[in-house]
Chains A and B, each alone.
Chain A
């Protein structure tokens, strides 16, 4: 009985559930750079590079899926390393502008290299190799690694850089090196999400990886809160499910979607999962009980 119910649910919603997983990976990928105090919005482009690299390998060359996934992480990581050298000297809005421009470059290149990428038509007939446990495993491993990093000298270095770059450098922290680490690792995770997503959806096109997607990724992390690892995951869950839950509102659902986001950001500026506030609330509840 329950199995049958679950079977029906999974047939209808498996794509949505797995999208929650890949979106959580994307939110975590941008969390890395944000944790280091960098506003980089190139993660949609890194996702695109990962998606195209892996899809081309499985589609055209029949490479095994794990190898294609690895390539989907390596390609954006390498790209991040190359563009990171000049751009990571920038900070604040200037870094945002530069990474945004890079995102557009990637999208337009994908659009104009028809022979390889299919141009505006995108890539069709990508083998559907992603299983639910691939996404679950990728998310679990990513969370575990980031969780360990946070509680080590790397995590403390990131936080120190975010709070005061100059002072961090004078503590013996290689500021440029750690920024590069956050940027490259973030790109690899975004690429992994892209590769998993491409082998889930059968089709990918350059339009999916434009400005809208870049902002969506950023919104997921900020909405959930960047003070912890739980925050970006919560943000990804909400931002993926909200449009589905508001389906009843039909044409107005995007309006309500936006409205809800504005309200959350206005009243919970540190994100939904703000550990300090949650602790305070828990304290109040305990005192009243």
Chain B
């Protein structure tokens, strides 16, 4: 729906993190992170637990402010922007721990996501003018369409908290798509899913990407990430340690070390001082 990918747009990055750092007290969660995410395709950010991946998303979406550094989205600086403004600029996300509007129906959840797309004014809604009714009808249609993308359109009026875990993740995905984002952030989209659900979601995500959405995902599941992403960055202890195509990442010595530890780690007794040295 109205997505543009100009030839010039491909060369300039959609999102640019420039020397991004975030400290929590004395804890340096992110240190000097530089990352450019191109327009189009699926980009992956992986790394061990506690590497700071979700913090990257929280900084991009404005839930946290960086300690230093800049975030640029299509030449807009995002520093000091509130989350709802950032969403309106074209960034949407899902959450690692699902955050649906649990007491609302599936259709209403997605329609909340369409909030900024509804252009009618207050007097339109009080008088229920044609403008209001047209917009609301179009929003309902669009919500139904987005739910069909994740195969949930047969449960429109169910309450969100009655869905299975996997379906809740898919509903979150549909809701995030409602703002028609230029950049879609997925925070561990397959966490807690069984392998059948993972395979189904993989083809859903691929189809969404083919519709022209740029996707940036954090994921633990290597099969999922390697199967979907053309480009992967690895975060460890708040620093980017590698970046490249899946095949290159898979054999990168530093990445293997970050995930599995160094070989001589195993030989040292647990917690012995200087064991890693």
Residues in A lying within 8 Å of B, measured CB to CB: 144-145, 148-149, 152-154, 156-157, 159-160, 163-164, 166-175
By the criterion CB–CB under 8 Å, are A164 and B126 in contact?
no
Nearest 3 CB-CB pairs, A to B? A172-B116, A169-B83, A172-B87
**A136 to B26 alpha-carbon distance, docked (Å):** 62
Given the complex, which residues of A lie within 8 Å of B108, measured CB to CB?
A: 156, 159
- Once the chains bind, are A171 and B104 in contact (CB under 8 Å)? no
Q: Do the beta carbons of B118 and A170 come within 8 Å of each other?
A: no
- Please judge, given known A-B contacts A152-B136, A159-B104, A172-B116, whether A145 and B126 are in contact too, CB under 8 Å: yes
Nearest chain A CB to B172 CB, angstrom units: 9
Asked if B211 is at the interface of the complex by the 8 Å CB criterion, the answer is no
A157-B112, A160-B112 known; A170 and B84 CB under 8 Å?
yes
Q: Is the CB of A164 within 8 A of B87?
A: no
Known: A166-B63, A169-B82, A170-B87. A156 touches B111 (CB 8 A): yes
A160 / chain B contacts, CB cutoff of 8 Å? 101, 104, 112, 115
Min distance, Cβ B224 to any Cβ of chain A, angstroms: 23
Interface flags for B98-110 (1: CB within 8 Å of A; 0: not) read 0111111000100
User: What is the number of contacts between chain A and chain B, taking CB atoms within 8 Å?
Assistant: 84
Residues of A within 8 A of B132 (CB): 152
Q: How far is the CB of B177 from chain A (nearest CB, A)?
A: 12
Pick the contact of A167 from B82, B88, B101, B125 — CB < 8 Å?
Answer: B101
**Which residues of chain A come closer than 8 Å to B92, judged between CB atoms?**
170
* Contact pick for A172, options B84, B101, B103, B125, CB 8 Å: B84
Q: Which of A152, A168, A170 has the most CB of B within 10 A?
A: A170
* In the complex, B95 has a CB within 8 A of chain A: yes
Instruction: Give the complex CA separation of A131 and B136 in angstroms.
Output: 38
- B residues apposed to A, CB below 8 Å: 61, 63, 82-84, 87-88, 92-93, 95, 99-104, 108, 111-113, 115-116, 118, 120, 122, 125-126, 128, 132, 136, 175, 178-179
Kindly state the separation between the CA atoms of A175 and B112 in the bound complex, as whole angstroms.
13
- Known contacts A148-B126, A157-B112; 19 further A-B pairs (Cβ under 8 A): A149-B125, A152-B125, A153-B111, A153-B115, A153-B118, A156-B108, A159-B108, A160-B112, A163-B104, A166-B99, A167-B95, A167-B99, A171-B87, A171-B113, A171-B115, A172-B88, A173-B115, A174-B82, A175-B84
What is the minimal beta-carbon distance from B107 to any residue of chain A, in angstroms?
10
How distant is A281 from chain B, measured CB to nearest CB, in Å? 19
Partner of A173, one of B63, B95, B112, B125: B112
For residue B101, give the distance in angstroms from its CB to the closest CB of chain A: 4
Contacting pair B115 A169 (CB below 8 A) = no
Return the chain A residue nearest B82 by Cβ: A169
**Contact B179–A172 (Cβ < 8 Å):** yes
Does B104 contact A174, Cβ atoms closer than 8 Å? no
